[in-house]
Structure 1
């Protein structure tokens, strides 16, 4: 069973237009009319940085009218070292909107390396969340054979589904989906026997189509050491999409993306590799590490972690997406760095990356979160500590940051907010790595409508 710390009585949401008939909103368009975000919960990591400190959940004030705007106002350290917090999700979301007894209260934090899954109470004091309980990784492994938990989503039943990328020894053959009950007790594997994915990673379910799709990364025993091309050649990375029946848990289709689809973390518009010099390969592939779609289905966004750009596409005609915005906010090809892009004529070039509030942008854009109204896009720049150290070693000494991008929701277009910069390089216990972000009231990457 989950290990308890303390339990605090539930507190009502109190937000106008939200949670009157259950958590979240009746429709995505209703969510777009929800209140402006005032807080963001941000995963902050010390694991892998060389600092013997626990990872923590940071609360960031994003209310422009607040005296503490654009700063970390609370830090909740985990009780153990070496977790590598990574993604996050809610115990309940808009999939439970019609259930008045459901409550978006607990933020679920899987630990990529240790295997613990934390439940964080955000209701008693949204500005200062507290630890409710955690699920022990030994119990997960003993009951299900699963380890390396990654992505979590709430179900309309009140249960919680977590993708796991391997077994306790780091073998991809142990990947699958962990099902927890509403109080974070282990139930079982979700998928039917014999229907586990070849490689695990992210997933999303759509009840209206009775379908769930999961993507691929690789074997934990390979990627947890850093990226090695030999591991790709040896078959330790995936190139498939897994199509499941929902909620049946049967794999109905396995889509092979081939060599050009290796490591399909997020499957979106293809990005052409760029010819480069002074890098490990003659071409630098696009590595899309996060994407999202606005709640009105008009705009599609993704980040390109290695190249360093964030893009916006108009997808009102889904078969013919139109690039409407692109900005460079880091990456390996920015001016001043050793790596240069090579033109067809042999000339070289690099991209201009602006400073914000006198601070240089480091690393590459990695995770993004869009405001409910679609007008503000937040971005962090840490992927995974081992890979950060390999590709962007300056993050170990300087830490991560969060930037805000203003979005033109009429014609399309992106521009950096020059007044917003949250510097995790100045944290009290030393520079930290910032990863996924969540709003207390939900967002387009946490909420599923049924």
Structure 2
């Protein structure tokens, strides 16, 4: 199980990936919202891969993403597994009423490992964004005038040429994205490069970068990685400290407060990948910190007064992953257009 949303019916829908042999298999499990008893699968036929999803009943659609086969990602990242077709690069468009797959949108070589997907919060909107981890791109998906769902690349993070790392080029690795409740800003994390970015998306097809801050990552000064060519930065970023502690790993899962002024960040992705790229997380635990957000003109800054160190937990060190905001948040609330009522996770 991966991603959970509550439905307007009171039921709970959970996305899944993989079968008993750890092969790729996407699908959804439907739970009773009171007893949490499994009612069955939701889809008519299994998908090739699964991961995140977003649904919009007003437009009779559910769109899901693809990570890969568990036998691949559970062993750590191996580029050969991408070449072997064990990772996804499609969006799966499902009919909300019939639960049937109506289209697979191939994102191609620029859309490898589409992970987190977000519709705009406006329930009448027919568009949203998806972050593609390995390609370090963001695609806008939308319903075209002919009624077909399509996708186009709108953001691309260039890789850095490096030495002292697993490969000679390092992708940003976009692992989480979200949209502010007013549908004005898009945020995402580059887990390997170590930065979080804020884009103004009032022009939906042409996002404008208005905020960026580096928070650790794999290319900090003083580490084993040396950047030999960088189309964006003139020098490698400095290590970052909060309350006297160096930030470990890179920014990963993010969550925005309802007023759009505080962005919460955790640093663990997946234990095997943490071990591979940030082994210090297993030894010392991950962290959570806050970015203060300028949601008027744009801008991000690290809050110097807040840090949760999961390495100090009684049974730690811990690898904290998801962030949820009490009372609803920007990555789980889905609004129903005909009533104005929202479903909450």
| Shorter-chain TM-score range | 0.7 to 0.9
Asked if 1:211 is matched to 2:61, the reply is yes
User: Could you say what secondary structure the match of 1:164 adopts?
Assistant: strand
Decide whether aligned partners of structure 1 residues 155 and 274 sit closer, same or farther in structure 2, where only a CA change above 3 A counts: same
Task: Tell me, in whole angstroms, the C-alpha distance in 2 between the residues paired with 1:209 and 1:335.
Answer: 48
Asked if 1:246 is matched to 2:99, the reply is no
1:169 is matched with which residue? 21
Give CA-to-partner distance per residue, 1:395-418, whole Å, 9 cap, x none.
Answer: 011111101000011111000000
Trace 1:22-37 onto structure 2 (pairs within 5 A): none
Q: 2:174 aligned to 265, 268, 288, which one?
A: 288
2:72 is matched with which residue? 222
Structure 1 unaligned segments of length 5 or more: list them: 1-148
For the pair shown, the structure with the greater C-alpha radius of gyration is 1
Asked if 1:153 is matched to 2:5, the reply is yes
Task: Tell me, in whole angstroms, the C-alpha distance in 1 between the residues paired with 2:230 and 2:260.
Answer: 38
Q: 2:192 aligned to 306, 313, 316, which one?
A: 306
Task: Tell me, in whole angstroms, the C-alpha distance in 2 between the residues paired with 1:230 and 1:221.
Answer: 13
Over the residues paired in the alignment, what is the CA RMSD in angstroms?
1.6
Task: Tell me, in whole angstroms, the C-alpha distance in 2 between the residues paired with 1:390 and 1:415.
Answer: 29
User: Could you say what secondary structure the match of 1:259 adopts?
Assistant: helix
Shift of 1:344: 6.8
User: Could you say what secondary structure the match of 2:209 adopts?
Assistant: strand
2:38 is matched with which residue? 186
User: Could you say what secondary structure the match of 1:389 adopts?
Assistant: helix
1:257 is matched with which residue? 107
Q: 1:398 aligned to 251, 273, 284, which one?
A: 284
Task: Tell me, in whole angstroms, the C-alpha distance in 2 between the residues paired with 1:357 and 1:419.
Answer: 7
When normalised by structure 1's length, the TM-score is: 0.64
Task: Tell me, in whole angstroms, the C-alpha distance in 1 between the residues paired with 2:182 and 2:168.
Answer: 40
- When structure 1 is superposed on structure 2, of 360-369 and 220-229 the one drifting more is 220-229
User: Could you say what secondary structure the match of 1:403 adopts?
Assistant: strand
Q: 2:314 aligned to 411, 416, 428, which one?
A: 428
Count of residues in correspondence between the two structures: 298
Shift of 1:348: 8.1
Shift of 1:244: 1.0
2:146 is matched with which residue? none
Decide whether aligned partners of structure 1 residues 208 and 426 sit closer, same or farther in structure 2, where only a CA change above 3 A counts: same
Asked if 1:331 is matched to 2:181, the reply is no
Trace 1:2-17 onto structure 2 (pairs within 5 A): none
Task: Tell me, in whole angstroms, the C-alpha distance in 1 between the residues paired with 2:276 and 2:72.
Answer: 14
When normalised by structure 2's length, the TM-score is: 0.83
1:111 is matched with which residue? none
Shift of 1:259: 2.2
Task: Tell me, in whole angstroms, the C-alpha distance in 2 between the residues paired with 1:242 and 1:175.
Answer: 10
Q: 1:438 aligned to 321, 324, 338, which one?
A: 324
Shift of 1:204: 0.5
Task: Tell me, in whole angstroms, the C-alpha distance in 1 between the residues paired with 2:114 and 2:156.
Answer: 11
Task: Tell me, in whole angstroms, the C-alpha distance in 2 between the residues paired with 1:257 and 1:403.
Answer: 33
Task: Tell me, in whole angstroms, the C-alpha distance in 2 between the residues paired with 1:369 and 1:438.
Answer: 7
Structure 2 unaligned segments of length 5 or more: list them: 117-129, 131-137, 139-154, 337-345
Task: Tell me, in whole angstroms, the C-alpha distance in 1 between the residues paired with 2:109 and 2:17.
Answer: 21
Shift of 1:199: 0.7
Off by >4 Å, runs of 4+ in structure 1 = none
The structure where strand makes up a greater share of residues is: 2
Decide whether aligned partners of structure 1 residues 226 and 344 sit closer, same or farther in structure 2, where only a CA change above 3 A counts: closer
1:365 is matched with which residue? 251
Q: 1:319 aligned to 205, 227, 230, which one?
A: 205
Decide whether aligned partners of structure 1 residues 353 and 208 sit closer, same or farther in structure 2, where only a CA change above 3 A counts: farther
